[in-house]
Structure 1
Amino acid sequence: MENYYPTPEMLEEFAAHLAQEEKSVHTVEKYMRDIRKFIVFLGDREITKELAIAYKKNLAEQYAASSVNSMLASFNQFMEFAGWRQFKVRQIKVQRRLYCAEEKELTKEEYYRLVRAAGELNKDRLGLIIQTICSTGIRVSELVFITVNSVQSGIANVECKGKSRQVFLPQKLRILLRKYVRQKSIRRGPVFVTREGKPVNRSNVWKEMKDLCRHANVSGMKVFPHNLRHLFARTYYKMEKDISKLADLLGHSSINTTRIYIITSGNEHRRQIERMRLIL
């Protein structure tokens, strides 16, 4: 009779499987973190369908529905890998949001204040990182593909999640980046590196951006690298109204993912409703 206990060996094999599926390092870490959370909940008990459902309920009591579904996706994939499909659970149904919370949406004016604050504090690298992410829509993890060669050619060849795409660098950004690499004597490789010469990572950028908040008078809830990507998406969509092309620019496999990026604030939603003028 088969026993349903996840073992350390199974976890190692699952991590290796995800790597072979060409999941990114961050994705593998996220999956493993989620599975360990389930194992803590499970304790020394054997997996049953009842416990799987109880785990789902436990998550729902602690986290937002989107976070719960993300963790359940990891749980279900592990169950699939283990051959224990009978324990997979359904995700929570979530109605698509029409607009995002105003306290979390970074506006263009706030973005400008962040860039100016970086300049006032002589944080040239940070100011250029912020402008690079926001003007190209790349992920912070993709900054490594902004190289001296890409600055010269105007095109960065970005590889992420098993996909490759070309990202065009705006002319004004190229001028600023050329000046920066000359000042820093960077002759090859990534433009944005630490003092040790290693490419900057998510935690480097996140911490530096948070330190800007007070000087720029921008809420810390709005300031993180991915919000710059959202601002790029909203700005582009307002101009072009082409969600398919925007999905390609952002490197999304699904337009449903892109829809999340172009959600506007409640204020804008209210203005649109008022402009309909359907009340006499």
Structure 2
Amino acid sequence: MQREIEEYMTHLEWEEKSPATRSQYRRDIEAFFRWTPGGEVTKEQVIDYKGHLREVYQPASVNAKLAAINGFFAFLGRHDLRVKQLKIQRQAFCSRERELSKTEYLRLVRTAEARHSDRLSLMIQTICATGIRVSELHSITAEAVERGEAVIQLKGKTRVILLSGKLRKKLQRYLHRRGVKSGPAFVTRTGRPLDRSSIWRMMKSLCAEAGVESSKVFPHNLRHLFARCFYAIDRDLAKLADILGHSNINTTRIYIISSGREHRQRMDALRLVL
């Protein structure tokens, strides 16, 4: 089966799936085959595995793992083994444990500055002020800063991200201090672009000192904060979807849901309880 998995990984690469997506699919597929007793895979086994996943993971994670193995079965022509994903009703608000507030974000930035880590501080601000994915950070280059816009290419799509005047000036000063004249702005000591795990780890290191719960601190949450702040001012969901690079506007809706606290305030404002 390992040969078929490798062939599927090649197929995903031709489909221009990102390296992170391919790695996750590989892990999920291999986890399924480690769980199965061996021999010919049956639909009953896949259904049992779905039940196992429901006991261990949250519904969204279950569906992500099912998507991986369903895609693999389809690649093999075994559509009979595919199982239905869980039905999840969209939540009208996000949990307090996951939502990063603007105040908490600013505390993270100031903590990085207090540590004299200008790279980490500016990196956090760049992701949050543009709404880019952490995997797109390498597109913020010296050339992009000079133009005032970055060209993002991902999953066969190209979009242009504008750099605000204040962010551009900060990046220009940073690049000048670092002596960077071309290529990615944020690199390691050896000149390689910072990877996702390094950025994640650097951000997590700020949590205790900044007084922010670690469950809220990860690069993608900066993208969510950008979306909420942008929508609060502009109220143009279609424009926000274009900026974020979403093909489906329903994906963008997930990014702008309010917190439970805000949801309660709006419900109280209805004055329907005497």
Shift of 1:43: 2.9
| 1:78 aligns to 2:80 (yes or no) | no
What residue identity is the alignment partner of 1:134? C
* TM-score for both structures, normalised by structure 1: 0.96
Q: What does the per-residue CA deviation read over 1:238-277, in whole Å, with 9 as the maximum and x for residues that have no partner?
A: 1122211111111111112111111111000001111122
User: Sequence identity of aligned pairs in percent?
Assistant: 51
Report what 1:3 is aligned to: none
CA distance in 1, matches of 2:9, 2:141: 31
Moved over 3 A (4+): none
Report what 1:130 is aligned to: 124
Give the unaligned 5+ runs of structure 2: none
What residue identity is the alignment partner of 1:50? E
What residue identity is the alignment partner of 2:181? R
SS in 1 for 2:206: helix
What residue identity is the alignment partner of 1:167? I
Shift of 1:95: 0.5
SS in 2 for 1:277: coil
SS in 2 for 1:61: helix
| 1:231 aligns to 2:225 (yes or no) | yes
Report what 1:4 is aligned to: none
Report what 1:261 is aligned to: 255
* TM-score for both structures, normalised by structure 2: 0.98
What residue identity is the alignment partner of 2:42? T
CA distance in 1, matches of 2:98, 2:16: 32
Choose the corresponding residue for 2:174, options 161, 174, 180: 180
Q: What does the per-residue CA deviation read over 1:168-214, in whole Å, with 9 as the maximum and x for residues that have no partner?
A: 00110011100000100001001000111000111111111111111
SS in 2 for 1:195: coil
Q: What does the per-residue CA deviation read over 1:211-246, in whole Å, with 9 as the maximum and x for residues that have no partner?
A: 111121111111111110000001111112221111
Q: CA RMSD in A?
A: 0.9
Report what 2:10 is aligned to: 16
What residue identity is the alignment partner of 1:179? R
Shift of 1:45: 3.1
Choose the corresponding residue for 1:218, options 202, 205, 212: 212
Report what 1:241 is aligned to: 235
Number of equivalences: 274
Give the unaligned 5+ runs of structure 1: 1-6
Choose the corresponding residue for 1:90, options 84, 87, 111: 84
